[in-house]
A and B are shown apart, each in its own frame.
Chain A
Amino acid sequence: MRTWLSVGRVIRLSSADTTDATASGASAEEVITDEAREAVLAELTARLGDAVLGSHIRPGDDLWVRVDRSAWRDAAEAAKAMGFTFFDYVSGIDWLPSPFGRDMDAQEDLVVSGAEPKEPAPIVQGYAGGETRFQVIAHVYNIATATGIHFKADVPDGDLTLPTWTGVFAGANWHERETREMFGISFDGHPNLINMYLPTDFQGFPLRKDFPLLARRVRPWPGIVDVEPMPGVADAEEGDAE
């Protein structure tokens, strides 16, 4: 039987690049290293050389590797040669903080209400770092060792293209079509980069952060909260005050 030492307690997960985990006096068992994933990372770095731009390991859980976009296809081939033959998914991330919704009101709304326009929040990329607003993320498994790699690649705004993975993993075909449709990131050498879900003449890329979600614009965050009090209730309160 397992022991349930942690039941009901909230434990922070350790993370390789979190410096304050040890500084704040975390227990020794939290500072674990992951030799299997370290080895995978070392072999990837040996195969790809300078193309590995950043990495992050969460021990016992996951590995993130950021590669240069020119080496995107090489990364897939290297992973496949290393036994990572199970293709999971390809998708994109738009790191722009949403100009709508909770973080910031839309600038045009601020103009109408007479408030000062806010400074846009800075773009902060996640694990393994990044330099651009758009990143492509992909996941492959090694089913022999039950480990996975998350690959990330920066895609600069001026040239939203990446080499395709379809030649290496046939399943990337549909995922790249979806990514192109939702983020506007194009894939060089893809055989059939047409829309998956949306009509052919659809304008815009829905999963970009600056694509407004109309339902949210009509009823801003957090929905109806400032409900007017019922007339009787308000009267009674006023009566008490007097």
Chain B
Amino acid sequence: MTAVSDPNQLADLLAEATDTRVNLDFESEGMTLNMGPQHPATHGTLRIVAKLDGEQVISAEPICGYMHRGYEKIVEVRTYPQINALINRIDWLGSFANEVPFILAAEKLMGVEAPPRAQWIRTILFEMSRVANISLFLGDFGLQLGGMTAGFYAFRDREHVLNQIESATGGRFHPNFDRIGGLKDDLPKGWISDSHVAMDKLLAFCDEMEDLLVGNEIFQSRTRGIGIIPADIALSYGLSGANLRASGVDWDLRRDGCPPGLVYDQADWKVWTHPDGDCFARTWVRLQETREAAKIVKQLLDTIPAGPVMAKVPRIIKVPEGEAYVATENPLGEMGYYVVSKGDLVPFRVKIRSASFNNISIVPWVARGAYVPDLISILGSLYFILGDIDR
């Protein structure tokens, strides 16, 4: 052990040493294991440097930045409609959901409200991207734990949702469909009935996954009691989405802090929580969430009001001076944009609060004392998208 001169670092090390989950032995040199940047469990290019003592992880530090694209800098020289196309790429599995909080923040500053039909379609597409995103999680998590079948089933059934998103917006992965004051276009003919069919297929997929994966004995033994996050720790790290609800915290921005412009109050649905806080709980909450999302879509499809999909907004969009923070419950968790405008064509500053950044910052805490194979379960169940960490 080398001498530590920095008192802060020393305090950190001592805190590690007093952690009862680790049988930390300062005498042993241990071993450093480098996971990634190209590990399949990292959904992109995240590197985890894990210090091991035998099979036990003493400390695991994620190294980010392999995909940092500097959105917060580049949006300062892009107009609001241009930014919409950029921020699609933050969480690339649920792209439409990225656009919505930003557009809502701009709408809040401008004092514009989208027509009801646009609000309905926005919410439907939002929930569809959630279904597309989380259905892939269910398959991918199975894949990481050695269940290949789940992965293929997920890719197969996600197509149904992507096809619907594509036929409405023209883009499978990057719709760029939301506009300040409404939507780019109305829905195509026959879309509503097709979407009902697609959502029924996804509900069947959820049942299938419950039998195949979540009910599987091997899956449960790999996830139950692994990577437990208590509620207070989850809150202080700012965990959001299913990760927070799996720790027993009943908090969903769709229900509790829904910004005006989304119509979640028009559907009958539930917020699921789980008291365990382990990897299984996180998977289970996500499975229920996918079902609820499909139900929300089906209910809203039946009640879409008629009318225009675009409010009257100026052709050249200048956002009045002010600051606004709008956050929505995205597939990965809370995603928010803090927009500072100086009354110009471009925002003065945009802080992008992405869910994965907070969700993954808990890895050093939760991985401490875990065993190496469990690290895969923990990383997989926390569910992050690299673009959402690095932005």
Contacts and interface: CB of A to CB of B under 8 A. Distances in A.
A87 B72 contact: no
B267 interface: no
Nearest to B8: A191
Given A8-B312, A88-B353, A93-B349, A171 B111 contact: no
Interface string B281-310: 000000000000000000000000001100
A127 B110 CA distance: 16
Contacts of A203: none
Interface string A185-208: 000011110011110000000110
A139 B342 CA distance: 21
Nearest to B232: A85
A124 B70 CA distance: 25
A85 B361 CA distance: 17
Interface stretch (B86-94, B215-223, B249-257): B249-257
B55 interface: no
Contact of A11 (B113, B239, B365): B113
Contact of B323 (A127, A168, A171): A127
Contacts of A137: 338, 351
A45 interface: no
Nearest to B390: A197
B375 to A, nearest CB: 19
A196 B391 CA distance: 12
B19 interface: no
B269 to A, nearest CB: 17
Interface string B65-76: 100101011101
Contacts of B390: 197
B68 A216 contact: no
A31 interface: no
Contacts of A126: 322-323, 340
B237 A170 contact: yes
Given A15-B322, A197-B68, A213-B73, A173 B361 contact: yes
A139 B9 CA distance: 27
B365 A170 contact: yes
Contacts of B327: 88
A241 B65 CA distance: 59
B351 A88 contact: no
B65 A88 contact: no
Contacts of A68: none
Contacts of A191: 8-9, 11-12
B237 to A, nearest CB: 4
A197 B64 contact: yes
Interface stretch (A94-102, A109-117, A228-236): A94-102
A7 B311 contact: yes
A87 B238 contact: yes
B236 interface: yes
A207 B73 contact: yes
B111 A85 contact: no
Interface in B1-28: 8-9, 11-12
A171 B113 contact: no
Given A6-B113, A174-B357, A206-B73, A196 B322 contact: no
B238 A143 contact: no
A43 to B, nearest CB: 20
Interface in B333-363: 334, 336, 338, 340, 342, 344-346, 349, 351, 353, 357-358, 361-362
Nearest to B360: A174
Contacts of B116: 4, 7
A221 B77 contact: yes
B351 A213 contact: no
Interface in A56-113: 61-62, 64, 85-89, 91, 93-94, 97-98, 101-102
B344 A102 contact: yes
A29 to B, nearest CB: 14
Contacts of B249: 143
A150 B339 CA distance: 13
A120 B108 CA distance: 30
Contacts of B346: 101-102
Q: Which of B11, B68, B77: most chain A Cβ within 10 A?
A: B77
A23 interface: no
A124 B305 CA distance: 43
B238 A86 contact: yes
Interface string A1-23: 01010111111110100000000
Contacts of B320: 12
Given A191-B8, A197-B64, A101 B338 contact: no
B219 to A, nearest CB: 29
B8 A88 contact: no
Contact of A143 (B65, B70, B235): B235
Interface string A115-129: 000000000101100
A39 interface: no
Contacts of A6: 113
Interface of B: 8-9, 11-12, 64-65, 68, 70, 72-74, 76-77, 108-113, 115-116, 232-233, 235-239, 249, 251, 256-257, 265, 307-308, 311-313, 320, 322-325, 327, 334, 336, 338, 340, 342, 344-346, 349, 351, 353, 357-358, 361-362, 365, 390
9 contacts: A8-B312, A10-B110, A10-B312, A85-B236, A86-B238, A88-B327, A139-B338, A190-B8, A216-B77
- The 7 A-B pairs at the shortest CB distance, nearest first, are namely A197-B65, A171-B237, A197-B68, A171-B238, A191-B12, A174-B361, A87-B238
Given A192-B8, A196-B65, 16 more contacts: A6-B113, A7-B311, A8-B312, A9-B312, A10-B311, A12-B320, A13-B322, A62-B325, A89-B351, A89-B358, A93-B349, A126-B340, A137-B351, A171-B238, A211-B73, A213-B76
